[in-house]
Amino acid sequence: MKLVPRIPSIVNVLQTKCAINVKKCLMHGSPSCAQQNQKKTNTTVDPEDVYRHGQLTKDWWDEQGVLKGLHSLNLIRIPFVRDGLVQCSLDERDPTPLKDKKILDVGCGGGILSEGLAKLGASVTGIDAGKDLIELATEHSKNNPKLANNLPSYFCTTVEEHSQERKDYYDAVVASEVIEHVYNKEIFVKACVETLKPGGKIFVTTPNRSRITQILGIYVAEYVLNIIPRGTHQYDKFMTSPELTFLLERNNCHVELTYGMIYYPFSNRWELSKSQLLAFATQAEKLK
């Protein structure tokens, strides 16, 4: 997959789109808030966040709507997962290379990623704390003719509850654009890893916690360009790549690689990058 070393030109928006009130942006939170937040709760679920996402059910499958960036993200996150699980050259590639893989999609929402992985043959289980989104995902997959012989299974539950039922079960766990929405990240990572077989892989994509992400990813994206629904992200829930690596290693995983990710909103396009300043994708293996 092609890596690009540049930072997106959207930075120019700060100078040309409007005069931004940076102080307002910086009030969204701080790293210490995140640490305190995690210490005070024994759950991964933020009820307010679940409610906000539940309000998007009518727009979830509109590929040109408010979640179009989530749809276009499939173009890099699905190959990222596929290539982490299957070693093969382009000319040898099977249309269903994941047919023998059991994959857990944590925080699956309306099923955008789950369906993409199922199309490659994977046996996909999607879980989410939002009942309305699970119902949407179930209904949409049933009406997708490309999934007629390989429907994902969806459950309204949390990953900590699911991990009690399916320990050492999955070949892969994917948490894409999810960990930045949960409360206790330590519990979240621990539960994700518990569902993995020894030797299984975990894939995580998430915004990086940096001031430029706070300004571009929250204030500009949500309040200036309106390309993400307002209130989607809270800066105090963001984390850095080293923080994620620490949690994975503490839970018996070896981080194999981490890429940066860049989103170009005006062309609705994602690229993997050498820079992790804005967002990153991490792949790790559960040690045997």
> Does 114 appear as a known binding residue?
no
Could you please report the per-residue DSSP string of 4-21? E-PPPGGGGHHHHT----
Strand duo 153-156 + 170-176: pairing: unpaired
Q: Which residues contact 28 (CB under 8 A, 6 or more apart)?
A: 214, 218, 234, 235, 236
Left, alpha or beta for 11 (phi > 0: left; psi -120 to 50: alpha)? Answer: alpha
> Does 176 appear as a known binding residue?
yes
Three-class DSSP category at 81: helix
> Does 222 appear as a known binding residue?
no
CB count within 10 Å of CB 132 equals: 18
Q: Which residues contact 3 (CB under 8 A, 6 or more apart)?
A: 259, 271, 272, 273, 274
Q: Distance between CA atoms of 189 and 247, rounded to whole angstroms? A: 7
> Does 71 appear as a known binding residue?
no
Q: Distance between CA atoms of 117 and 196, rounded to whole angstroms? A: 17
> Does 6 appear as a known binding residue?
no
> Does 77 appear as a known binding residue?
yes
Q: Distance between CA atoms of 287 and 157, rounded to whole angstroms? A: 26
> Does 107 appear as a known binding residue?
yes
Provide the angle, in degrees to the nearest 10, between the axes of the packed helices 47-54 and 131-142.
Answer: 40
Annotated binding-site members for Mg(2+): 177, 180-181
Annotated binding-site members: 77, 107, 128, 176-177, 180-181
Annotated binding-site members for S-adenosyl-L-methionine: 77, 107, 128, 176
